[in-house]
Amino acid sequence: MTTRPSILRQVLGYAGMLVALAVVVVPLAWILIASFKTQGDIYTLPATWIPRPITLDNYATLFTDIPFATYLHNSLIIAGSLTLIKVVLGVMSAYALVFSDVPRRLRSVLFVVIVAALMIPNQITVISNYAIIAQAGLRNTFVGIIVPLAGVAFGTFLMRNHFLSLPTEIIEAARMDAAGPMRTLFRVVLPMSWPTLIAFVLITLVNEWNEYLWPFLMSDQAGTAPLPIGLTLLQNNEGVSNWGPIMAGTIITMLPILIVFLILQRPMIKGLTSGAVKG
């Protein structure tokens, strides 16, 4: 029989979830609705949730005021390249830390160094990285944006912990069958690691897609600037009097990542929670 305290906890739990949902959904819903409003309708008091009239002018302005398609293309290049580099390096380094013939003590020391790198905010290294890239003449290039962001501390940490949870018997059986390191990785380890790998890919893709500070410092030209920088330039052009195009740009910017997340959310959640329950 359900007790009264249990019912109260359930009610409070659902109420908390509804509040959290409202905090996340209401601003996003307003951004979407405002992207279809006219300039005067956005500033109407009291605020209205139904655009009258519905207009697509904000989306047209988005592509005429700034080279939005170029910014989108740049974001695909930067985020895609960084995701590929980080996933490859993260998987390889984690595999070496778990399954290589290097002495265990040395592997532990290397792992501690990697964990320490996680604790260093990226903002601390901005000045030194900027000086190096600027002196090398790599400002306003994709190489100058991508290379300093290609660190893999988080990915190595995530994949190493997952590899440690894999059955050692399967790995030993592969070695007894004379499988080399690369064959063991691609034929044995990775097929058992898809949920965690997908979580790693998605987290990395979202982070790199939304990266702002370093691309802002490295690029002041449309040929290499990603979408977040394009939205900043759009805001500078439109000022504080016309938020419609900015809202439209925000919707288009977050739409690709939202689609990817909706497709991969189940394996991502499974990957993040793998190893949390044993038995």
Choose between 229 and 39: higher pLDDT: 229
Residue 255: which pLDDT band, with cuts at 50, 70 and 90? confident
Lowest mean pLDDT among 45-49, 182-186, 206-210: 45-49
Q: Does residue 275 carry a pLDDT above 50?
A: no
pTM for the predicted model, two decimal places? 0.83
**pLDDT, averaged across the chain:** 83
Lowest mean pLDDT among 42-51, 91-100, 148-157: 42-51
How far, in Å, CA of 133 to CA of 162, rounded? 35
pLDDT mean over 176-199 = 82
Q: What percentage of the chain exceeds 90 in pLDDT?
A: 15
pLDDT score of 277:
42
Cβ neighbours of residue 85 under 8 Å, at least 6 residues apart? 146, 150
pLDDT score of 3:
65
Choose between 29 and 268: higher pLDDT: 29
pLDDT mean over 5-23 = 84
pLDDT score of 274:
56
Q: Evaluate whether 133 touches 148 at the Cβ level (below 8 Å).
A: yes
- Residue 271, CA distances (Å) to 88, 162, 193, 246 in order: 17, 9, 8, 35
Task: Provide the H-helix boundaries in 210-243.
Answer: 213-218, 227-238
- Residue 8, CA distances (Å) to 19, 82, 211 in order: 16, 47, 42
Choose between 173 and 278: higher pLDDT: 173
pLDDT score of 272:
60
How far, in Å, CA of 186 to CA of 92, rounded? 11
Residue 278: which pLDDT band, with cuts at 50, 70 and 90? very low
Q: Does residue 196 carry a pLDDT above 80?
A: yes
Taken in order of first residue, the domains within the chain and their CATH numbers are 57-273 (1.10.3720.10)
CA–CA–CA angle 54, 240, 230 (5° rounding): 85
Best CA proximity match to 243, nearest among 66, 71, 45, 40? 40
Best CA proximity match to 242, nearest among 40, 36, 23, 14? 40
Choose between 65 and 129: higher pLDDT: 129
DSSP notation for 158-176: HHHHHHHTS-HHHHHHHHH
How far, in Å, CA of 136 to CA of 218, rounded? 12
Determine the angle formed by the axes of helices 68-99 and 57-65, rounding to 10 degrees. Answer: 80
> For 78-131, how does the pLDDT look when each residue is reduced to its tens digit (9 = 90+)?
999 999 999 999 999 888 888 887 787 888 888 888 888 777 777 788 888 899
pLDDT mean over 53-57 = 85
How far, in Å, CA of 126 to CA of 225, rounded? 17
Report the Cα–Cα distance between both ends of the chain, in Å, rounded: 29
